[in-house]
């Protein structure tokens, strides 16, 4: 499904061409050998890292903590977070991707002990206008696709409850990332469709820390994510892929 520019709400944090690109991939989002196979490969690491940095699924009063998975696509991370027991809302502006996420969980129900999982087509601005607040937000491989990263982080920060947690994963704007995550992955190995990423929109860890501070967030931890023979693993190497935890002060 392709989305026309006229169907997109004003002030959308993601560019229309990005939405159309990911909408076109929706039918194969859950195919582990398809165009989203790098996300499938790293998803276990992302979810385990989130598990260690998010507060427990229930607060002291027994209330389920609410997590927003923004830019969720068809829900790879959303399902993983729900399996941990959180009350998860997966939000994406690509309607076809949300449809694929809903269909996948209908066909593959979450196991007992999972938290509620719901999906919604829309933008962060939609939720902001409604006054929505969350205990935690995840933005995984999203910030490099938004039109204004600084405004995006301010928007997410404003939707966190006091003391809330934001987890962001993205790619470093390094020459090594250009060679591997852009040229290598898209044009040589064909792990991703050509044009998936724009290297100039990658964000260095230092830049991310500065943007976080401007948004009233404090980076509490950061780690590299590197591929290996036994799957992706956490690393001190931030040169290409990395993940960061931020806390609302």
**Span 110-139, mean pLDDT?**
97
Is 0.85 topped by the overall pTM? yes
Average pLDDT, the chain: 89
Alpha helices (H) along 12-164: 16-23, 37-53, 76-83, 95-107, 124-129, 149-158
The owner of tokens 């006091």 is 162
Range of the domain at 221: 5-248
User: C-alpha distances in angstroms, 59 versus 56, 66, 116, 169, 198?
Assistant: 7, 10, 16, 25, 40
What is the distance between the alpha carbons of residues 91 and 102, in angstroms, rounded to a whole number?
A: 12
Phi-psi region of 141 (alpha: psi -120 to 50; beta: other; left: phi over 0): left
Query: How far apart (Å, rounded) are the C-alpha atoms in residues 157 and 139?
Result: 12
Residue numbers belonging to the annotated binding site for S-adenosyl-L-methionine: 46, 71, 92, 140
| Residue 95, pLDDT above cutoff 70 | yes
Q: Please count the structural domains in the chain.
A: 1
In this predicted structure, the answer to whether residue 74 has a pLDDT above a threshold of 90 is: yes
Binding site listing? 46, 71, 92, 140
- Provide the pLDDT for residue 189: 53
CATH number of the domain enclosing 25:
3.40.50.150
**pLDDT tens-digit profile of 178-193?**
877 666 555 555 666 6
> By the 8 A CB rule, do 240 and 172 touch?
yes
Cα separation, 79 vs 71, whole angstroms: 13
Q: Which of 186, 68, 206, 219 is nearest to 135 (CA)?
A: 68
At 203-244, the pLDDT tens digits run 999 999 999 999 999 999 999 999 988 889 999 999 999 999
Question: What does residue 75 show for φ and ψ, rounded to 5 degrees?
Answer: 95, 25
Concatenating the DSSP letter of every residue in 22-44 gives HHTTGGGTT-TTSTTHHHHHHHH
Pairing assessment for the beta strands 87-92 and 66-70 based on DSSP bridges:
parallel
pLDDT for residue 187: 57
Q: Using alpha carbons, list the distances in angstroms from residue 93 to 12, 49, 64.
A: 9, 25, 26
Res. 22 pLDDT band, cuts 50 70 90: confident
């Amino acid at each position: 499904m392709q989305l026309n520019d006229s169907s997109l709400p004003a002030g959308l944090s993601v560019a229309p061409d990005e939405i159309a690109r990911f909408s076109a991939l929706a039918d194969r989002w859950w195919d582990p050998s398809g165009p989203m196979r790098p996300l499938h490969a790293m998803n276990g690491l992302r979810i385990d890292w989130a598990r260690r940095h998010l507060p427990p699924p229930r607060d002291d009063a027994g209330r389920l903590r609410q997590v927003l998975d923004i830019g969720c696509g068809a829900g790879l991370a959303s399902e993983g977070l729900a399996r941990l027991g959180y009350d998860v809302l997966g939000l994406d502006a690509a309607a076809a991707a949300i449809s694929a996420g809903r269909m996948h969980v209908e066909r593959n129900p979450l196991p007992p002990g999972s938290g509620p999982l719901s999906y919604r087509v829309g933008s962060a601005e939609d939720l902001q206008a409604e006054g929505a607040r969350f205990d935690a937000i995840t933005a995984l491989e999203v910030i490099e696709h938004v039109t204004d990263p600084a405004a995006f982080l301010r928007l997410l920060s404003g939707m966190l409850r006091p003391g809330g947690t934001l987890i962001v994963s993205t790619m470093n704007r390094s020459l090594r990332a250009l060679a591997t995550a852009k040229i290598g992955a898209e044009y040589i190995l064909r792990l991703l469709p050509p044009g998936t990423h724009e290297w100039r929109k990658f964000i260095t860890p230092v830049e991310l820390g500065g943007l976080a501070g401007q948004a009233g967030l404090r980076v509490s931890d950061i780690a590299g994510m590197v591929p290996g023979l036994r799957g992706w693993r956490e690393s001190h190497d931030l040169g290409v892929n990395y993940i960061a935890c931020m806390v609302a002060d």
